[in-house]
Amino acid sequence: MKIYDLRTEYRENPIGLAVKSPRFSWKMRTDEKNTVQNIYRIEVTDNGKTVWDTGMQESRDSVLVPYEGELLCDETLYTVKVTVWDNYGRAGSAETTFETGVFDPQTFRAEMITHDFEQEETACPVFYKNILLKGDVKKARLYATAQGVYEFAVNGVKAGENRMTPGWTSYHNRLQYQIYDVTEQIKSGENLLEMTVGNGWYKGILGFMCTSDIYGDRVGAFAELHITYEDGGIEVIGTDENWGVRTGEIRYSEIYMGETIDTDAPQIREGNVSVKDFDKSILTAQENEPVRITERIPAKELIVTPKGERLVDFGQNITGLAEIRIKGYKGQKITIRHAEVLDKDGNFYPETLRQAKSIDTYICNGEDQVFLPHFTFHGFRYICVEGIDEMKPEMFTACVMHSDMESIGSFHTSNKKINQLQSNISWGMRDNFLDIPTDCPQRDERLGWTGDAQVFSWTASYLRNTALFFSKWMRDMFAESSLEKGVPHVVPDILGSYSSSAWSDAAVIIPWVVYQTYGDTRILEENWKCMHEWVDYITNNCEENGLWMTGFQYGDWLALDKEESADRTGATDKYMIANAYYLYVTDLVKQTAEVLGYEDDAAKYASLYEKTLDAFRREYYTETGRIVSETQTGCILALYFNLARENDRGRILKTLLTNIENHKNHLATGFVGTPYICHALSENGAHDMACTLLMREDYPSWLYAVNMGATTIWERWNSIKPDSTFDESGMNSLNHYAYGSIGDWMYRKAAGINQLEPGYKKILIKPMFVKGIEEAEGTFESPYGKIVSGYSCKDGKIHIHAEIPANTTAVIVLPEKGEKIEVGSGVYDYEYDTGTSLKTLRFSMDSTLSEIVAEPLAVQMFNQFAPGMLDGPMVQMAMQMTLAEMLGAAPDARPMFEAVVNALNAQEE
């Protein structure tokens, strides 16, 4: 038995940790089945001195165990040793370290400084200071942040690999700082400190209107260098009025517009430094994974377009930068433009960027050079190159940039197009999770839309470890929300628009997703006020009937079931959507109160839920089960959010299936309905229709975009039309991840990986076959270890494979058989025949009648063999009975069912 992956606050050996009660997590690895942890012991020491020793704790807790020892000191290195004993009496141990930073930001001596350059000066200021150190350096830690985005260099060497620091937060409320180990860059004697600051999100061009100076009209620099000498002495050097400032090679830099770098003869200007008013209490140590270059993609092809444009194709739509390697002549000007796609004639097509110019310009100095922008990023697959006569593929590299979250999930099948869809989903996340969850990475927007993040949050948490990313973003949501205004539509809020269902509901749903995925109760504690105040805001704005019927709503954004092209809200009653979500988040707040032990609040929101549900049913459902909005999304929410009365679910499912059939077995859903449509079908006896929707290849469908060459998820189902022309709405991103929310269904239903308890302490393995996919497998690195679930269904044999990590248990449900097997940790394989004459790939003895008649072909055959049978009152009452139950109650019906199944088999062949 081995202990591995020992972490502190999700991190490996962190430095600068400013969490007063850090939490420790570890995993167990063993080949022995049914292994659980019986005892753990955590020992934390400071230079050999014990500051916390749990002793032998009889517990199975191994995820986010909080530190409860002596008060931690600033800038101290602690060693953590964890020893575990399992139920077989075996022991294992592991060690890690964490180094604290500065707990009280008010103790920083540095000042926020700025420059006096005129507003017309577009060059990035470089703040600098020459320092003289008095001895040999044992340790050097740099704390730095900016009002803007910055890079810090010590003796000409950049500190760390982070980019776009300090990230985007609610700058008036919170400003992150980063911590760097610069010991190897510092030397005894003279040293040069330089801090270059770009406009970034703080001062730069931002939003639909391309407005600048949203947070301030001057960038600022804040840094403090802590030197520990070999003789034990300590020196602190911080930014103040004694620093200098000048302009440098970066002559212009804007996130939307691009960057200009002049290495030939830039005009260097000296300026004066002054101290800005700045409240240090808003400073917070880096909370999420920094943005980094995580992958480098070589040029795939050089292209000359019909218009004569010279392009580089990298083969993948990415977020990041194009690196250029060249030995140009002195003064040579190179211009790089970016685009996601080519037009139908094969020409460069940058129109999806709208006002974002995304142009990088370089002036060469005549030497061998590598050009890469500093303070911008682009969404692109193609670059158009001007100013280079002889282009070679090896000169160009696409540098992928995003928050460097750990990849934890994979999904692979025997179907190449589904695999490409999964790749598109994954890339859509990578391209848009750049410090905040942006809607798109390329155009003049790139905002933290709450609705997009909310609908994708489950899928995101299967793909990458989102715990720190979402925790950081939720703190900004908390800072900008209130009981009076509600929750913003974008976070950080630069639009001043608040409170719409499905969007603002992110305040409740995302903390719940993190809790369910990682077992992290701290995010619930931190956001409890914001979560319940969002529900309270809705309650305070309800009509006399107890429902939310006022204010702006996005509805089922970009749904296809409304003819008016100017209205993007879809055909589903937007206040029905609002109240469906009102009920959903009220229930989540009730459950959160239960988790946190707030009994009175749990009772309060349970009562509110029941009262509101009654009002909702009276408003939106008839006594016979009809819905006010008999749209796909109206039915989906009724089923998935469990809003319909139990005896009405069959009718609502039938309405949903009829609507889908009327759309020729296609979806017509937007941002609200799409995440849940396949779940609602699979969970209500119509899994076959869910599979049909997944496997469609014509418009509108997920695979339509795949067939059109997409390498990311599109904003619209028809962002590129079948004739290769483009949607002309002026809102047409080819890198929008919201519709990638089908990924959650792919992991939960097709691969069958589900959590039965928060953090996957107890796991449900329940793969569901998808026609057209003979083999599928999902993997997921849970807080306890790797979970694997896969199936193979071919040659008359079914094979199920599952891997369950130590210290967890699982329930494995065998498809077709419906058999449930409770297991402990270990590797499990099951193989059996596909079934008897009453079993097909579509239906099993555990299938309900409603599941069977969800298939139009089955309905036709029943009507052929027994006309009128399905309309009989007894059959309607038996819709939720399984085949086995029906044949047990009415054995005379067996010949008819066998005839139908045999006909289905013949149709399959």
pLDDT in tens, 117-126: 998 999 999 9
- For 558-582, the pLDDT digits (tens) are 999 986 667 899 999 999 999 999 9
Chain centroid, CA 49 distance in Å: 41
528-561 confidence digits (pLDDT tens): 999 999 999 999 999 999 999 999 999 999 999 9
Name the helix (H) or strand (E) containing 30: none
Domains, the chain, ordered by start: 2-99 (2.60.40.10), 105-285 (2.60.120.260), 291-403 (2.60.120.260), 434-700 (1.50.10.10), 759-833 (2.60.420.10), 849-908 (no CATH)
Distance of alpha carbon 9 from alpha carbon 18, whole angstroms: 11
Distance of CA 304 to the CA centre of its chain: 37
Q: What is the Cα–Cα distance from 734 to 441, expressed in whole angstroms?
A: 10
CB 200 within 8 A of CB 175: no
pTM: 0.92
DSSP per position, 756-821: SSGGGSEEEE----BTTBSEEEEEEEETTEEEEEEEEEETTEEEEEEEE-TT-EEEEE-TTT--EE
Helix and strand tally (H, E) in the chain?
19, 44
Catalytic residue list: 445, 715
Section 355-382 average pLDDT: 98
| Termini Cα distance of the chain | 50
Is the CB of residue 148 less than 8 Å from the CB of residue 198?
yes
Q: Which residues contact 393 (CB under 8 A, 6 or more apart)?
A: 298, 299, 300, 301, 302, 312
Write the pLDDT tens digit of every residue in 276-319. Answer: 999 999 999 999 999 999 999 999 999 999 999 999 999 999 99
Q: What is the mean pLDDT of residues 178-187?
A: 96
Query: What pLDDT does residue 720 have?
Result: 95
pLDDT at residue 897, rounded to an integer: 72
Output the pLDDT for position 855: 64
pLDDT of residue 872: 63
Confidence at 842, pLDDT banded by 50, 70, 90:
very low
pLDDT reported for residue 900: 72
Instruction: Copy the structure tokens of residue 696.
Output: 């469609």
Question: Residue 76: how many CA atoms within 13 Å on its side-chain side?
Answer: 18
The DSSP result for 753-769, as a single string, is EEESSGGGSEEEE----
Residue 874, pLDDT above cutoff 60: no
Q: How many C-beta atoms surround the C-beta of residue 894 within 10 A?
A: 14
* pLDDT at residue 903 is higher than 80: no
Q: How far is CA 797 from CA 75, 555, 612, 814, in A?
A: 60, 45, 49, 13
Cβ-count burial 119-156 (b if 16+ within 10 Å, e if not): eebebbbbbbbeeebeeebebbbbbbbbbbbbbbbbee
| pLDDT attached to residue 299 | 98
Measure the CA–CA gap between 503 and 505, rounded to whole angstroms. 5
**Nearest residue to 38 (alpha-carbon basis) of 96, 91, 115:** 91
Contact 810, 822 (CB under 8 A): yes
Would you state the pLDDT for residue 266? 87
Q: Mean pLDDT in the chain?
A: 94
Asked whether 486 and 768 are in contact (CB, 8 A), the reply is no
Look at 406 and 853; give whichever has higher pLDDT. Answer: 406
222-240 tens-digit pLDDT: 999 999 999 999 999 999 9
Residue 840 has pLDDT above 70, yes or no: no
d(CA 846, CA 864): 24
Q: Report residue 816's pLDDT band, with 50, 70 and 90 as the boundaries.
A: confident
Q: What residue type is 833 in one-letter code?
A: D
Task: Please tell me the predicted confidence (pLDDT) of residue 896.
Answer: 72
Distance of CA 151 to the CA centre of its chain: 26
pLDDT at 857: 66
Rounded to an integer, what distance in angstroms lies between the CA atom of residue 18 and that of residue 287?
9
pLDDT top residue among 860 and 556: 556
What pLDDT does residue 818 have? 85
pLDDT value at residue 893: 73
Query: 30-78, pLDDT tens digit by residue?
Result: 999 999 999 999 999 999 999 999 999 999 999 999 999 999 999 999 9
Q: How far apart are CA 834 and CA 832, in angstroms?
A: 7
Model confidence pLDDT, tens digit, residues 35-48: 999 999 999 999 99
Residues 582-610 have a mean pLDDT of: 98
One DSSP character per residue, 156-217 reads TEESSS-BSBT----TTT-EEEEEEE-TTT--SEEEEEEEEEE-HHHHS-BTTTTB--SS-S
Structure tokens at 475: 């703190």
- For residue 411, pLDDT over 70 is answered with yes
200 pLDDT higher than 90: yes
The rounded Cα 908 to chain-centroid distance in angstroms is 39
- Please give the Cα distance from 564 to 571 (Å, whole number): 10
Neighbours of 20 (CB within 10 A): 10
Beta strand 113-115 pairing with 2-8: unpaired
The pLDDT of residue 824 is above 50: yes
pLDDT of residue 904: 64
What's the order of all strands across the beta sheet hosting 23-29? 2-8, 23-29, 65-66
Backbone angles phi, psi at 130, to 5 degrees: -90, 130
Q: Which residues contact 780 (CB under 8 A, 6 or more apart)?
A: 408, 409, 462, 747, 753, 760, 786, 787
- The model's pLDDT over 875-891, given as tens digits with 9 standing for 90+, comes to 655 666 766 666 666 66
What percent of the chain stands above pLDDT 70? 93
